[in-house]
Amino acid sequence: MLSRSNLWIVSCVAVSPLLVACADVGGASGDDGNVEVASAVRGQCAIMAPGTSPTIVPNGAGSPWIVSYQASSGTLNEYDSISNDTGLGMFPGTSPASAATSRAPSIFLQSTAFQANTTVLYVGGSSTGLGMFPGTNPAIAAIPTPVNTPPRFITAFQANTTELFVDGANLRYGMDSRTSPSIAGLPGGYEVAFQANTHELFLVGTAENRNTGLGMMPGTNPSIASAPDGTYAYAFQANTGELFVNGVNTRFGMAAGTSPSIAALGGGNYEVVFQANTGTLFAVGTIVSINTGLGMDPRSSPSITALGTGGFEAAMQANTHQLYVWGSGTQYAGVPVCDRF
C-alpha cells in the first residue's frame, strides 16, 4: 500500500514533455524461438514486472529521455510520449540496458540489449545467438565515433559459462553467477566493471585492467559511466552494505540485493541514484544529494543518465510497480510514466 511517507502520489497526467520515439528495437523474432507476447493495452500508466529495473538514456527532438523496461506482460517496452510494446519476450526477472550516442545537437541514436525468454542475448531487436547466464542482465555502451560515421555499440554480459563476454568475445574472467557487468564507452575503447567470482570489484578494458581489491555485496552489480571528456566513474554496493563511489565509502546504507547507477558528468563530477536501506530512492552527487522520499519495489534498482541539455534524469520502479522518473528534467518531482494522447 502507498503511504505518504514513502511515495509522492502524482496524478497520471502529462506534467512534462516526455520523450519522442527514437527506438531501434523492432519486432524481429529471431531464429532462436523468442516468444512474442500480446501487446499491453495503451492509455494507462506503465506497470513493470516486479523486481525488475528500468534503463534510461538521453534523447533529442524536444524530448530529453527514453526509458526501456520489462513490462508486467513480460515483454520489452519502451516509453517515449506513449508506451511501445515491442512484443519481444524477456527472461523473467531480468532488466534491459540501453545506450545512446549524440550525432548532432539534440539528436541521439539509441540501442537496447536484453536477455530474451530463451536466455539468448538480443541487441537492437535481433538475436545475437549468444547464450546468457539465466537471470542476468547485459550492459551496452556507445563508443564515441565521428558524426559522419555509423554509431558503434558494444555489449558486456555474463555468458552461460559464468564468464565475462565483451563485444562477443570471451575475456575468461569468472563472474559471481548472480551478477551482471556494466560497461562505459571511451574514445577508441571501453571500460567494464563487474563482480568477479571472488566477490571483488574488477575493472577491465582499454583504460585499465585490475582487481580493485574492493569487496562487493554478493549478488549485486556495479555501475560505470563515461563523460564526454573521456573520464569515467563507478559505483557499487560494498560487502558492508554501503555505497562506494570511485572506491570511496559514502557511508550511505543500501537496500539488500540492490545496485546503484551512476552518471558521469565530466570534470570529476557525478550523480548516483540508489535504493537506500529505507526502501526509498536516494541521489548523491555533485548536483544534488537528497532522499527523494519515493518508495521503491524492494527488489529493484534505479537507472540514471546525463541529459544532453545538462543535468540528469533517473528512472525507477515504485513500490506500486509503476514506472517513475525523477530528476532535474522533472524539477525533482516523482512523475509516473503514463501514455499521453
Segment 279-336, tens digit of pLDDT? 999 999 999 999 999 999 999 999 999 987 778 999 999 999 999 999 987 788 888 9
The secondary structure of residue 241, as a DSSP letter, is S
- According to the model, what pLDDT value does residue 21 have? 25
Length of the chain: 341
| Tens-digit pLDDT profile for residues 116-163 | 999 999 999 999 999 999 999 999 999 998 878 888 999 999 999 999
What are all long-range contacts of 327-334, with beta carbons under 8 Å and residues at least 24 apart? 328/287, 328/288, 329/16, 329/64, 329/65, 330/15, 330/16, 331/16, 332/288, 332/290, 332/292, 333/8, 333/10, 333/15, 334/7, 334/8, 334/10, 334/281, 334/292, 334/293, 334/294
Residue 227, CA distances (Å) to 138, 269, 286, 296, 303 in order: 21, 9, 14, 28, 16
Q: What's the domain range around 120? A: 55-336
Give the pLDDT band (50/70/90) at residue 34.
Answer: very low
CATH of the domain at 73: 2.120.10.70
Q: Which residue has the higher pLDDT, 205 or 12?
A: 205
* Cβ-contact 165, 159 below 8 angstroms: yes
In a domain, residue 67? The reply is: yes
> Which residues lie closer than 8 Å to 30 by C-beta, 6 or more apart?
116, 120, 122, 126, 127
* In-domain check, residue 265: yes
pLDDT at 108: 82
* CB contact burial 87-112 (16+ within 10 A = b; e otherwise): bbbbbebbbbbbbbbbbeeeebbbbb
What are the φ/ψ torsions at residue 223 (nearest 5 degrees)?
-135, 135
Is 3 a domain residue? no
Gap between the Cα atoms of 305 and 268, Å rounded: 16
Q: State the Cα–Cα distance between residues 200 and 17, nearest whole angstrom.
A: 41
In a domain, 63, yes or no: yes
Is residue 18 assigned to a domain? no
Q: How many structural domains are present in the chain?
A: 1
Backbone angles phi, psi at 328, to 5 degrees: -65, -25
CB 137, CB 113: distance < 8 Å = no
**Position 246 pLDDT exceeds 60:** yes
Q: What is the pTM of this model?
A: 0.87
pLDDT of 27 over the 60 cut: no
Query: Taking a C-beta distance cutoff of 8 angstroms, is the pair 88, 40 a contact?
Result: no
> Is 13 part of a structural domain of the chain?
no
Residue 36's pLDDT is: 33
d(CA 307, CA 332): 14
Residue in 193, 192, 196, 191 with CA at minimum distance from that of residue 177: 196
Burial 188-200 (b: 16+ CB within 10 A, else e): eebbbbbbbeebb
pLDDT score recorded for residue 206: 97
Q: How much helix, strand and coil, in percent to the nearest 5, is found in the chain?
A: 0, 50, 50
Say what the pLDDT of residue 120 is: 98
Q: What is the dihedral of CA 186, 187, 189, 190, to 10 degrees?
A: 0
Residue 4 lies in a domain: no
- Give dist(CA 54, CA 35) in Å, integer: 21
116, part of any domain: yes
**112 grid coordinates:** 537496447
| Number of neighbouring beta carbons within 10 Å of residue 208 | 10
Contact of 19 with 65, CB cutoff 8 Å: yes
Query: Which percentage of the chain shows pLDDT scores above 70?
Result: 84
